[in-house]
Amino acid sequence: MKIVDIERIVVDVPFTKRQQKITAREVYNWAILELCRVETDTGHVGWGETVIHYTWARVSDESVARVIGQSPADLMHDDSLGAGLQMALFDVVGKVMEVPVYKLLGNKCRDWVPLSWWSIDASPEDWAAEAKDAVKAGYTSLKLKPRPWWDIQAQIGAICKVVPPHFKLDLDPNATWQNAATAIPIIKKLEAYDNVAMYESPIPQHDVLGNRQIRQAINRPVAMHFGSPPFITQVREEVCDGYVVCAGKSQVIRQGTLSAEAEMPFWLQLVGNGLTTTWAAHLGAVLTHATWPTISCVNLYSHQLLKKKIEVVGGYHQVPEGPGLGVEVDEKAIAKYRVPEKTIKKLNGSPYDRPKPRIINSIVYPDGSCVHMASSSQGYGYFTSGHGPAQVEGARLEPWPDDGSKEWKKLFAKAEKHPVRDRWQKR
């Protein structure tokens, strides 16, 4: 069995209507996927996908050249090939051998794997609406991104009014809660909400002492990305209760095995659409401690690019039993969302992306002060470094898209250099 052809297809799959609005400031480029179609001399075809602007590793021309003419079984464990290509190799080998992918990965320990809904920061109203959609779709957990430019009490309060008691909220401030002295009071207030289940990286992960203080002071689990600080340090210093695992197959298996040795649970964070979510299900089927809900962000997409939509029942996704990944891609949908080759060629080897949004993000505080930023990403370093408060009750974000005015252009130019402190004026 040899690989005779590899086709790489770039698609731009629209997010759902609400997520198009929510993600317009930051993760809008996650809609762009590169699909890998691998064909063997036996006539079998395997599929994989890469979120070009996020996934742990892109597929390169060199990877494709290295695989052509080779047996997929010889190379499928090589993480350096990139997300979509590695996934496609496992898919095609499973099809040739007429076994599901999980049998190529290890010993199955569960038939159903937990899966979480996901959203980046948004208004209390939008988060509540996303939570209602999650409940309706069969999910029992939602991973959220608290940010200093929103009132987390208002956000969580709005969600808790519309979800059942068993629905869980996992919060990931991405280290913007700064330090233990700042983070602990925020978390203590959130303990009033029974739905809040877990925290990921409330402060910088390298702050070993601070993270240990947080874990000792609160009554919810704390998750950290595996290996930062080093795994031995994480375990010895007891800085977290479990992990976020995100990598290629071989590293995922390694990290999952080490987590099991330490008797610590984790969630798989493998972002993508239907194919990636299915790939994560096969990995989760063989990793004993993958008991926290997988984060794939599949709920963002208006179409999963599969003929049969992934079904979630009671917060769980059933592991497919068919050969390979066990799902069938929707080639009509792929053709519909495909980015034309002439568009790709114009980029001269650079990855396809959408135009960078031109939005002034104004953080407005109850006292009438505000901070203008040229992008959401600008805010991470600003707040993590302590230049602004980690949380303020009544804070809100007021986006100001480019309206062509001289006022907007002048303020945007200043904000691009550094966040601008000001008094808020409603526009």
Span 122-176, pLDDT tens digits: 999 999 999 999 999 999 999 999 999 999 999 999 999 999 999 999 999 999 9
Cβ–Cβ under 8 Å, residues 363 and 401: no
Could you tell me which of 27, 114, 81 has the C-alpha nearest to residue 249?
81
Q: Which pLDDT score is estimated for 376?
A: 83
CA gap 425, 427 in Å, rounded: 6
Kindly tell me if the per-residue pLDDT of 177 is higher than 90: yes
Q: How confident is the model at residue 366 (pLDDT cuts 50, 70, 90)?
A: very high
Could you tell me which of 187, 172, 180 has the C-alpha nearest to residue 267?
172
Helical packing angle, 152-160 and 180-190, nearest 10°:
20
Cβ–Cβ under 8 Å, residues 47 and 74: no
Query: Three-state DSSP class for 280?
Result: helix
CA gap 241, 263 in Å, rounded: 9
DSSP annotation string for 210-247: HHHHHHHH-SS-EEEETTSS-HHHHHHTT--SEEEE-S
The encoded tokens of residue 270 equal 């493998």
CA gap 110, 180 in Å, rounded: 37
Q: Is 268 exposed, middle or buried (0-12, 13-18, 19+ CB in 10 A)?
A: buried
Is 112-326 in the same CATH topology as 3-99+334-345?
Answer: no
Q: Which pLDDT score is estimated for 395?
A: 97
CA gap 33, 341 in Å, rounded: 14
Break the chain into its structural domains and give their ranges.
Answer: 3-99+334-345, 112-326, 359-423
Q: Which pLDDT score is estimated for 345?
A: 80
**For residues 386-414, average pLDDT:** 95
Say what the alpha-carbon torsion angle 252, 302, 375, 387 is, to the nearest 10 degrees. -60
Kindly tell me if the per-residue pLDDT of 333 is higher than 80: yes
Instruction: Give domain 112-326's CATH number out of 3.20.20.120, 3.40.1190.20, 3.10.20.340, 3.30.70.141.
Output: 3.20.20.120
CA-based torsion, 313, 118, 251, 94: positive or negative = positive
Element (H, E) at 252: helix 249-261
Cβ–Cβ under 8 Å, residues 123 and 145: no
Q: How confident is the model at residue 377 (pLDDT cuts 50, 70, 90)?
A: confident
CA gap 279, 101 in Å, rounded: 8
CA gap 275, 99 in Å, rounded: 17
Kindly tell me if the per-residue pLDDT of 35 is higher than 90: yes
Query: How far from 283 is each of 171, 235, 270, CA to CA, in Å?
Result: 24, 23, 10
pLDDT tens sequence across 343-360: 888 787 788 888 888 999
Could you tell me which of 281, 258, 263 has the C-alpha nearest to residue 109?
281
Topology (CATH) of 3-99+334-345: Enolase-like; domain 1 (3.30.390)
Q: Which pLDDT score is estimated for 351?
A: 87
- What predicted TM-score, i.e. pTM, was given to this entire model? 0.96
Cβ–Cβ under 8 Å, residues 212 and 239: yes
Cβ–Cβ under 8 Å, residues 139 and 117: yes
Range 326-344 burial, b when 16+ CB lie within 10 A, else e: bbebbeebbeebebeeeeb
Say what the alpha-carbon torsion angle 56, 80, 277, 221 is, to the nearest 10 degrees. -50
CA gap 231, 111 in Å, rounded: 29
Return all residues near 104 (Cβ < 8 A) that are at least 6 apart. Answer: 76, 90, 93, 94, 97
Distance of CA 223 to the CA centre of its chain: 15
Average pLDDT of the chain, as a whole number: 96
